[in-house]
């Protein structure tokens, strides 16, 4: 992933040095487990760990140079490690293992750590959405369907629904963490032909993983589940960002993302304050869906294993992790700094001359005994007239003898307080959400 979208604490997990440190730790734990079980000399384990190379830039460069000969990264890694440790103990490195034992188990550790960062970021987004939802629980605005005014709602209810969705993403991230927190050291086709299952159990325990049955590789549906959790998280961020983009449009102008001192919205037009963060997040969500498709296609491998998934995962898993963390972090900051224009919300709510109360009027007429379709046609006709004449729907209805509602009944049907009497229920639901 390019540095522009890479937050350091997540990016560090996927650097070559971090990856090879985990490979080395798996190798060292394997030697220690073999020694504890009496499969190799007892003195080999402390000697191997004491003489293990430091994994730094020079080490990574040495592996890369060796790979020019081996054309196999793990084989090159093993060669460099064995050479650094020296004989005779160095010979026990990679004993009984196949490359995927090391790579897949280390990758699981990396993804667990990445998932922990993602869950933490999701915690912060959920908490921020909940806080803002409660702050704006009673702020009325026009609800819209198909982009058109529908009925009144509140900004708090809107944000609360996004919060509940983000909480579901958080649960999916936790489930994905559990799915990927597994390891395997069972050999070339997963039959433990050259390694004791007790070694796998000891190594996985030391790494905080659960050993699972596998072929040469851990089944890739687990990785696809991780990518699904990342993708759906990004989709939720996209949904929130799309809403903000619409609310920030000049014709709407009900809310806007924060605009910093010295910021420029356009290189050409000084007046512009564009929703650039929200637009960026929508774009990155598209990438995330692509990574999910790639992850799903990695599930089907030939027999006990091929490497068609390997090249995909070197790109998809780090990038998806980085982007999911980035979009969560950026959306949290956007919601925390959201600029809200209550007066504009009320002005827009009134802009359709009371049409947002049309259903309330319809139901009041039905309650007085009118046939629903007849009532519908009367209100529909009146709404069109109100718009055409640029005056309130209530006044048009009051002039129509067919309506059959008293002034008090019309007042009740056009009551904003009545329309929003239960809008708080979405915000109230946040009381059951963890961390809010």
Q: Are residues 294 and 362 in the same domain?
A: no
Verify that 312 and 273 share a domain, yes or no.
yes
Name the DSSP letter for residue 430.
Answer: G
Same domain, 86 and 230: no
**According to the model, what pLDDT value does residue 319 have?**
97
Same domain, 106 and 148: yes
Q: Are residues 392 and 258 in the same domain?
A: no
Task: Tell me what the pLDDT averaged over the chain comes to.
Answer: 97
Any idea what the CATH number is for the domain that residue 243 is in? 1.20.200.10
Same domain, 38 and 64: yes
68, 95, 122 — which closes off a domain? 95
Residue-wise pLDDT for 40-52, tens only, equals 999 999 999 999 9
- Name the active-site residue from 146, 267, 271, 303: 146
- Do 124 and 8 reside in the same domain of the chain? no
146 is catalytic: yes
Do 169 and 231 lie in one domain? The reply is yes
**Catalytic annotation on 266?**
yes
Region 84-101: what's the mean pLDDT? 97
Q: Which domain holds residue 386?
A: 355-413
Distance from C-alpha of 174 to C-alpha of 42, rounded to nearest angstrom: 39
Q: Is the pLDDT of residue 108 over 80?
A: yes
Could you tell me the CATH number of the domain that includes residue 2? Answer: 1.10.275.10
Query: Of 193, 266, 406, 415, which residue is the catalytic one?
Result: 266
Burial 49-87 (b: 16+ CB within 10 A, else e): beebbebeeebbebbeebbeeeeebbbbbbbbbbebbee
Same domain, 137 and 156: yes
Residue environment code for 219-235, b if the CB has 16+ CB neighbours within 10 A, otherwise e: bbebbbbbbbbbbbbbb
345 and 366 share one domain: no
Query: Final residue of a domain: which of 95, 127, 157?
Result: 95
Total domains, the chain: 3
Contact 29, 206 (CB under 8 A): yes
Span 351-391, pLDDT tens digits:
999 999 999 999 999 999 999 999 999 999 999 999 999 99
Residues 240 and 179 placed together within one structural domain of the fold = yes
The Cα 241–Cα 232 span in angstroms is: 14
pLDDT of residue 265: 86
Single out the residue in 95, 118, 145 at which a domain terminates.
95
**Are 192 and 317 in the same domain?**
yes
pLDDT at 67 over 90: yes
């Amino acid at each position: 992933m390019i540095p522009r979208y890479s937050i350091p604490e997540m990016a560090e997990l996927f650097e070559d040095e971090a990856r090879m440190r985990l490979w080395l730790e798996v190798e060292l734990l394997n030697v220690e487990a073999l020694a504890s079980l009496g499969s190799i000399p007892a003195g080999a384990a402390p000697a191997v760990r004491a003489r293990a190379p430091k994994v730094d830039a020079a080490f990574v460069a040495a592996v890369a140079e060796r790979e020019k000969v081996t054309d196999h990264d793990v084989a090159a890694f093993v060669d460099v490690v064995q050479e650094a440790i020296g004989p005779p103990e160095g010979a026990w490195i990679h004993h009984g293992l196949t490359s995927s034992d090391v790579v897949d188990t280390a990758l699981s550790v990396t993804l667990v750590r990445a998932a922990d960062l993602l869950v933490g970021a999701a915690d912060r987004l959920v908490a921020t959405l909940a806080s803002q939802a409660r702050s704006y629980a009673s702020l009325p605005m026009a609800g819209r369907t198909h982009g058109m005014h529908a009925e009144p709602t509140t900004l708090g209810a809107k944000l609360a629904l996004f919060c509940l969705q983000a909480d579901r993403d958080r649960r999916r991230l936790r489930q994905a963490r559990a799915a990927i927190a597994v390891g395997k050291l069972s050999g070339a086709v997963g039959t433990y032909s050259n390694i004791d299952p007790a070694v796998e159990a000891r190594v996985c325990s030391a790494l905080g993983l659960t050993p699972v049955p596998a072929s040469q590789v851990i089944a890739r549906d687990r990785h696809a589940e991780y990518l699904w959790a990342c993708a759906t998280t990004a989709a939720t961020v996209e949904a929130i960002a799309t809403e903000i983009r619409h609310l920030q449009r000049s014709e709407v102008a009900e809310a806007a993302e924060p605009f910093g001192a010295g910021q420029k919205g356009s290189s050409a037009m000084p007046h512009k304050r564009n929703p650039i963060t929200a637009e960026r997040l929508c774009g990155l969500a598209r990438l995330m869906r692509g990574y999910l498709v790639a992850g799903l296609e990695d599930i089907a491998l030939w027999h006990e294993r091929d490497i068609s998934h390997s090249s995909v995962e070197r790109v998809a898993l780090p990038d998806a992790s980085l982007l999911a963390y980035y979009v969560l972090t950026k959306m949290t900051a956007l919601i925390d700094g959201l600029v809200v224009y209550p007066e504009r919300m009320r002005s827009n709510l009134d802009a359709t001359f009371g049409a947002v109360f049309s259903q309330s009027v319809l139901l009041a007429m039905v309650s007085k005994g009118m046939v629903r379709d007849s009532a519908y046609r009367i209100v529909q006709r009146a709404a069109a007239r109100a718009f055409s004449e640029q005056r309130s729907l209530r006044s048009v209805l009051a002039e129509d003898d067919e309506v059959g509602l008293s002034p008090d009944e019309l007042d009740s049907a056009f009551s904003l307080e009545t329309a929003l009497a239960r809008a708080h229920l979405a915000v109230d639901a946040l009381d059951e959400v963890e961390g809010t």
